[in-house]
Amino acid sequence: STTTDGSGNYVFENLNPSTNYKVRFVGTAFYLPQFNGGAPSLAAASPVTVTVGAATDVDAALIPRSWRATVTGTVTNRITGDPLQGITVRAYVDDVYYVGVPTQANGTYTIAGLDPAAGDWELRFSDGSGTYRLQWWENGIKPQVSTPVSLAVNTTTTADAQLTPNASLPTLSGTVRADGTNAPIQGIEVRAFQNGLAVDLRTTNASGAYTFGNLLPGTYTLRFSDPGGNWTLEWWQDQALKANATNVVLPVGGAVIADAHLAPAP
């Protein structure tokens, strides 16, 4: 490590040119640390290459802490409303992990020092004990379907979460049959979509049956397709277009049945 001089300059000497480097800048209590390129974390920083006999410039503009944002919230049991202690809340910016904190005895957490201009901030809630289903804010199964947290300079944003016990997750099942003959169809791919994106996939068995047991409570759409091309693709219920698909609503602990009948491909 090294320290900047009175003009803000610093130097690293005798670096190995065969090694890629990343530079971390840690200022006084008035500034937040960052990596080269303004990256918020080591993983997000790009490697710096040095060349024999040449000077490589890596400048930085540290951001005052007062320019940063804070996100806080309370994590509770979706069924009982009780606060949950020890849940890990991780903040990601543009899908890159930044920092994580545990919830306190009253279920609260606080993450400070976030840069609103860094990108889309997402929150992930996970339980190390395995009692509660992992989820992203708000109620997303995957980061692709999460809702970014709106942050503003020198402002605190609230982002609460309600976690579902794994023992109380809903089930979604059904049977896929052929139009006319009502015969079960094996090998049909049933995809569950949340917020317009596919989040899980099941394939029908010899009886034409499928079951989802790991979805969060919420609203989904279902697509039925045959990778072999023998059956016409459709959305539940009997819809050719995604825009016309009927939603499937999964309640906490509920068991929902969504059957389908497919027509032979033309």
Percent of all residues in the chain with a pLDDT value above 70, rounded to a whole number: 100
Question: Does the pLDDT of residue 33 top 90, yes or no?
Answer: no
Instruction: Just give the CATH number of 169-262.
Output: 2.60.40.10
Question: Which residue is listed with tokens 């068995």?
Answer: 205
Residues with Cβ within 8 Å of 19's Cβ and at least 6 positions away in sequence, in order, are 50
* Residue range(s) occupied by CATH 2.60.40.10 in the chain: 169-262
Q: Spell out the SS3 assignment of 152-210.
A: CCCCEEECCEEECEHHHCCEEEEEEEECCCCCECCCCEEEEEECCEEEEEEECCCCCEE
Per-residue pLDDT, 249:
98
Assigned CATH for 68-166: 2.60.40.1120
Tallying the residues shown for the chain, one arrives at 266
Q: Above 80 in pLDDT, residue 163?
A: yes
Query: What pLDDT score does 63 carry?
Result: 79
Are 150 and 158 in contact, with CB atoms under 8 Å apart?
Answer: no
The pLDDT tens digits of the residues spanning 179-230 come to 999 999 999 999 999 999 999 999 999 999 999 999 999 999 999 999 999 9
pTM comes to: 0.77
Residue 29's pLDDT band, with cuts at 50, 70 and 90, is confident
Can you give the pLDDT at residue 4? Answer: 95
| Average pLDDT value for residue range 142-148 | 93
Q: What is the DSSP letter of 230?
A: -
Q: What is the pLDDT of residue 64?
A: 80
pLDDT for the residue 165: 98
| More confident site: 167 or 98 | 167
- pLDDT, average across residues 2-17: 94
Q: Which stretch of 60-74, 80-94, 167-181, 189-203 has the lowest confidence by average pLDDT?
A: 60-74
Q: State pLDDT tens for residues 149-161.
A: 999 988 999 999 9
Task: Return the pLDDT at 96.
Answer: 87
pLDDT given at position 8: 94
pLDDT bucket at 115, cuts 50 / 70 / 90: confident
Portions of the chain given CATH number 2.60.40.1120? 68-166
CB 163 within 8 A of CB 133: yes
